[in-house]
Chains A and B, each alone.
Chain A
Amino acid sequence: MSDKSSDSPIWEVFIRSKNGLSHNHVGSVHATDKEMALQNARDVYTRRAEGTSIWVVLSSDIAASDPMNKDELFEPGSDKIYRHPTFYDIPDEVGHM
Chain B
Amino acid sequence: MMAANIDETVKVDREALFQLALRLGDTSLILGHRLSEWAGHAPILDEDIALSNLGLDLIGQARSFLTYAGEVEGRGRDEDTLAYLRNAPEYRNLLMVELPRGDFAFTMMRQFLFSAFQLPLYQKLMQSRDKTLAAISAKAEKEMAYHLRHSSQWVVRLGDGTEESHQRVQNALNTLWTYTGEMFETDASLKALIEAGVYCDPASIRDIWNKTINDVLEQATLTRPETGWMQSGSLSGRHSEHLSHLLAEMQSVQRAYPGLKW
Contact = CB atoms under 8 A, between A and B. Distances in A.
B196 interface: no
Contacts of B149: 39
Interface in A25-49: 29-33, 35-36, 39-40, 43-44, 47
A43 B53 contact: yes
Contacts of A31: 46
A68 B153 CA distance: 43
A40 B50 contact: yes
A38 to B, nearest CB: 10
Interface residues of B, number: 9
B208 interface: no
Contacts of A47: 49, 53
Contacts of A36: 46, 153, 157
Task: Identify the 4 closest CB pairs spanning chains A and B, nearest first.
Answer: A40-B46, A43-B49, A43-B50, A43-B53
Given A29-B46, A30-B46, A44-B46, 18 more contacts: A30-B44, A31-B46, A32-B157, A33-B157, A35-B153, A36-B153, A36-B157, A39-B50, A39-B149, A39-B150, A39-B153, A40-B46, A40-B49, A43-B46, A43-B49, A43-B53, A44-B49, A47-B53
Interface of B: 44, 46, 49-50, 53, 149-150, 153, 157
11 contacts: A29-B46, A30-B46, A32-B157, A33-B157, A35-B153, A36-B157, A39-B50, A39-B150, A43-B46, A43-B50, A47-B49
